[in-house]
Amino acid sequence: MATITAVFENGIFRPLDPVHLPEHTRVEFEPRVQAEIPSSPAMPEDVARVYEVLSRRYQSGHHDTAERHNEHQP
């Protein structure tokens, strides 16, 4: 398998490129810190706010919001 480069953010390793593994596949790795971390382009402020709101929704405890879609419909 090829080497996977990832960034550690908020306690999670986020791959920088697509990873072709089945969901829930357990892997074992030994992290090696890269000497130079490539800088990512700055995210526009409005996009950063959208991601911030989405992250709060993700942590709401509702794992399948689509399942509750019709809950408050007349």
pLDDT tens, per residue, the chain with 74 residues: 688 888 888 888 888 888 888 999 998 888 888 876 566 677 788 888 888 877 765 556 666 767 777 777 66
Does residue 67 sit within a domain?
no
Does residue 4 sit within a domain?
yes
**Residues 39/45, Cβ–Cβ less than 8 Å:** no
Among 33, 44, 43, 41, which residue's Cα sits nearest to residue 7? Answer: 33
Per-residue pLDDT tens for 18-30? Answer: 888 899 999 888 8
- Domain with 9 in it: 1-33
Does residue 19 sit within a domain?
yes
Cα–Cα distance, 40 to 32 (Å, whole number): 19
Q: What is the pTM of this model?
A: 0.40
* CA 72 to chain CA mean position, Å: 29
Phi, psi dihedral angles at 65 (to 5 degrees): -65, -35
Tokens of 68: 């509750």
Considering its fold, how many domains does the chain have in total? 1
Does residue 70 sit within a domain?
no
